[in-house]
Copies of this chain bind each other. A is one copy, B any other.
Amino acid sequence: MPRAGLSPDAVVDVALDLVDEGGAGALTLAAVAGRAGVATPSLYKHVRNLTELRALVSIRIMDEISDRAGEAVLGRSGDDALRALMKAYRSYVVDHPGRYSAMMQEADPGVVESGRRRIEAGQRLVDIMLAALRAYGLEGGEAIHAARSLRSAAHGFAVLEAAGGFGLPEKLDESYELLIHMVISGLRTPR
């Protein structure tokens, strides 16, 4: 009986495939094991339990989003950077709606633990947002408020789109353009 050659990363790879195909609900240990060609209990050699696997999946997804966002922002600043960041964010959801919904469900309050690595992954995205906001010259706390608002806008649209919460799929680009415009003009307009 040759070994399957699994690893924590390989298990997450399989989990991502499942989530791509069937949404967050399709992620079960039994399904992962089946696809990996292994008996279910074998997964416990690589992952502590289902909760940890979900956390690892979320971390991977957040990292992927941060990668896209970071790349989009490179070489840009101001409105241009912000617009590119938000578009990159949404593009991830359009490409991988199942993954985005899987990242959601994990963020259930009550599952507060999940470790440092998870917080780091979120922080990285926040840092990218703060960098994109740098050109606006926000003072201390104002930058935090701006990053939170930016995140809320991008995330809110993403959740609704990933869940099919908008009626017609058409014209979603235009709706998103307005949302981007709101963020930018809100930063440009004094309160």
Q: Which residues of A are at the interface with B, using a C-beta cutoff of 8 A?
A: 22-26, 97-98, 101, 104-105, 107-112, 122, 141-142, 144-146, 148-149, 151-160, 162-166, 171, 174-175, 177-179, 181-189, 191
Contact = CB atoms under 8 A, between A and B. Distances in A.
Nearest to A119: B167
A178 B146 contact: yes
Given A175-B145, A178-B186, A186-B182, A110 B22 contact: yes
Copies in the assembly, this chain: 2
B160 A108 contact: no
Contact of A187 (B141, B148, B182, B187): B182
B163 A149 contact: no
B109 A164 contact: yes
